[in-house]
Chain A
Amino acid sequence: MTDSMTARINELTRKYPDREAALLPALYLAQREYGYITPEAMEFIGETLSIPKATVKGVATFYSMYLHKPVGRHLIQLCTNVSCMVFGAERLVDILRDRYGITPEGTSQDGRFSLVIMECIGACEQAPAMLVNNELHGNLDENNLHSILERYK
């Protein structure tokens, strides 16, 4: 890990009265930097913030949006909760598997996409909905799913 990483984590701590409070943003920082939260990153963050290694791991694994293994170039986060389910979200999961070889918690063989099944992402008025990386796509169906995914190479 680099000096710049230390500086950036220290910068995060300035927002809080207590260094430990910078743990969640520091984990996000590591995830953006390395694609997922590596064991080395957890150790480094723990040392920088004076938090025991086991505590860092306990926190990092509690929250579902922290990734603990490498993922594909694009992360699909598809909601299948009730409002999305009644408009066919589960069918979309089948299509992703059959047509693209992407299974929940898995990555396509070409390394292009990973898929995570989400609980409600607060876009139920455009159900079914998904986030691809940080972009929201709604009113999905069999046809537009394909054209949307084509934008992510």
Chain B
Amino acid sequence: MERFLLKGIENTGSADISGYRKAGGYNNLAKALAMQPAEIIDEIKKAGLRGRGGAGFPTGMKWTFASVDPKFPKYLLCNADEGEPGTFKDRPILEKNPHLLIEGMAISAHALKTEYGYIYLRGEYPKAKDILDNAIKQAYDEGFLGDNMLGKGIRFHLSVHQGAGAYICGEETALINSLEGKRGQPRLKPPFPVNSGAFSMPTVVNNVETLANVPYVIQIGSAAYSKIGNPECPGPKLFSVSGHVERPGVYELPMGTILREIIYDHCGGIKGGKKLKAVIPGGISTPVLPPDKIDCPMDFVSMPKFGSMLGSGAVIVFDETTCLVRVCYRALKFFEHESCGKCTPCREGTAWLRSIIGRVEEGKGKKEDIDLLVDVAGNIAGKTFCPLGDGAAGVVANFIKHFRSEFEDHINHAGCRFRN
């Protein structure tokens, strides 16, 4: 497949506006500014574009909700918080192809009649901050941003807002609070951001990769776009692959590419020819899969049928030498650390889960601990304010479901026999 999202990123100076323009960059913006906003939204809908931030929400539908709300000004927020462990797919766009994102945001802003946009960038990406600031300045200088985009009298102002190390700020309402200068805790929905988001105005929050897909829809048209990959949720998709594979990295492949193909063909198989033990397919919050479940198409509609989720498309591969109880423990340490503290089941529950898995891993677990973990996880699931708590519970439930014997082994042998 010809790459679009990562086109030309291996060239030096790919982040510079001159190279981007030479390769036809910003032509899609010119094309879009000649279209009516409603026409663009219609194209995005017909293309079947779904959000790449994790939940897979239809982008055209979200845009319609915001655009029919009569309140102005409206805001367009790019979610560049990329905090889900294992996820580094947005980073190449931010660092190597920033003008694609800016062009996507400018087109989206016109479609939404939005005059103000922010890129909410995680604090852990300081290099991307400099690159984006510079790219935005170049785009202003050449008339692709500002009060008079391409001389068409259309206004769009864009800047970067830097986060400061809180995973929960990737959740869209927490992100909005953080933009407004508050603690990054989620808000109750409704009202939804499309009606009352940033500064109480209609707000669209989209992931970096989602917005980077917008120029592509404009370029090839919705009919062609909707034929890429799985027609139920089409388009190119970025997969970030890490862990025990020969060639970790970010791969742009059609939505619905088979997980086995990603691991064994694109990434060259398991590092050192070892055996596969487990895969987390979509970032740490998505259910782990055993080796016999990796013939799944990696897309939003297929993955649930295989007992997991596409999430952010962050594939983490574990070989036979990995202690999965240790992996599960580290994941829970993450959730405990990142729980924003707003609701009790998550705040207390993640700490309990981490502590019980910790003693099992150390070889100090009791026979009852496994059922206790299942019970605690069951008591968190469905009772939390936002999906972070659910995610933590799901991680524990699924590691035990598929690898219960490994937990039991730690208890029966008072320690770990898996790591070497």
What residues of chain A have their CB less than 8 Å away from a CB belonging to chain B?
Answer: 15, 17-18, 20-25, 27-28, 49, 51, 58-59, 62-66, 77, 80-83, 85-86, 118-127, 131, 134, 136
Contact = CB atoms under 8 A, between A and B. Distances in A.
A53 to B, nearest CB: 14
B13 to A, nearest CB: 20
Given A58-B183, A81-B330, A119-B83, 20 more contacts: A17-B199, A20-B180, A23-B181, A25-B161, A65-B123, A65-B165, A83-B85, A83-B243, A85-B327, A85-B330, A86-B318, A122-B83, A122-B125, A124-B87, A124-B88, A124-B243, A124-B248, A125-B241, A127-B242, A131-B124
Nearest to B125: A122
Given A24-B161, A125-B250, A83 B86 contact: yes
A17 to B, nearest CB: 5
B77 to A, nearest CB: 12
A28 B164 contact: yes
Nearest to A89: B330
Interface string B237-260: 000111110001110000000000
The contact size tier of chain B is: 35 or more
Interface string B309-345: 0000010101000100011001100100110100000
A36 to B, nearest CB: 13
B184 A63 contact: yes
B24 to A, nearest CB: 28
A28 B84 CA distance: 23
B318 A64 contact: no
Contact of B122 (A66, A86, A122): A122
Contacts of B122: 122
Nearest to A23: B181
B163 interface: yes
Contacts of A49: 181
Nearest to B327: A82
Contact of A18 (B126, B180, B338): B180
Contacts of A58: 183
Grouping DSSP codes into helix (H, G, I), strand (E, B) and loop, the A interface class, with mixed when no group exceeds half, is: mixed
Contacts of A17: 73, 116, 199
Contacts of B250: 125
A133 to B, nearest CB: 9
Nearest to A18: B199
B416 interface: no
Interface string B112-154: 0000100000111111000000000000000000000000000
Contacts of A120: 83-87, 284, 334
B82 interface: yes
A59 to B, nearest CB: 6
Interface in B374-394: none
Interface in B287-310: none
A23 B87 CA distance: 28
28 contacts: A20-B181, A20-B182, A24-B162, A24-B178, A25-B161, A28-B162, A62-B166, A62-B184, A63-B123, A64-B165, A65-B164, A65-B165, A80-B330, A81-B85, A81-B334, A82-B243, A82-B331, A83-B86, A85-B330, A86-B243, A86-B322, A118-B165, A119-B167, A120-B86, A120-B334, A124-B85, A127-B242, A136-B127
